[in-house]
Copies of this chain bind each other. A is one copy, B any other.
Amino acid sequence: MAYETLKIQQDLVEWLSLTGDQLRRHLHSPLEVTTKSGRNDLVTNLDKQTEQFYVQQIRQHYPEAHICGEEGFGDQLTDLTGLVFFVDPIDGTMNFVRQKNNFATMIGVYLDGQPLVGAILDVIGEKLLVGGAETGVQLNGYPLTPIAPAPIAEGLLGVNAMMYAHNGYHLQDLAAQTSGVRVTGSAGLEFIQVITGQQNGYVSSLSPWDVAAGWAIGQGVGIEAHNLAGQQPQLREREVIIAGIPEIWRSFQKLQN
Q: A195 — which chain B residues lie within 8 A by C-beta?
A: none
Interface string of A9-40 (1 = CB under 8 A from B): 00000000000000000000000000000011
Q: A167 — which chain B residues lie within 8 A by C-beta?
A: 165
Q: A185 — which chain B residues lie within 8 A by C-beta?
A: 156, 180, 182
Q: A172 — which chain B residues lie within 8 A by C-beta?
A: 165
* Chain copies in the assembled complex: 2
> Is A44 positioned at the interface, with any CB of B under 8 Å from its CB?
no
Q: A100 — which chain B residues lie within 8 A by C-beta?
A: 198
> Is A222 positioned at the interface, with any CB of B under 8 Å from its CB?
no
In the bound assembly, the distance between CA atoms of A154 and B193 in angstroms comes to 27
Cβ < 8 Å to B, chain A residues 150-177: 153-156, 161, 164-165, 167, 172, 175
Query: In the complex, are the beta carbons of A98 and B156 less than 8 A apart?
Result: yes
Closest beta carbon of chain B to A36's beta carbon, Å = 14
Closest beta carbon of chain B to A219's beta carbon, Å = 22
Query: How big is chain A's contact interface, by range?
Result: 20 to 34
> Is A57 positioned at the interface, with any CB of B under 8 Å from its CB?
no
Query: In the complex, are the beta carbons of A161 and B181 less than 8 A apart?
Result: yes
> Is A179 positioned at the interface, with any CB of B under 8 Å from its CB?
yes
Q: A101 — which chain B residues lie within 8 A by C-beta?
A: 198
Can you name 16 A-B pairs with beta carbons within 8 Å?
A40-B180, A94-B156, A95-B156, A98-B154, A98-B155, A98-B156, A98-B179, A98-B198, A99-B199, A101-B198, A161-B164, A161-B175, A161-B183, A165-B167, A182-B185, A183-B183
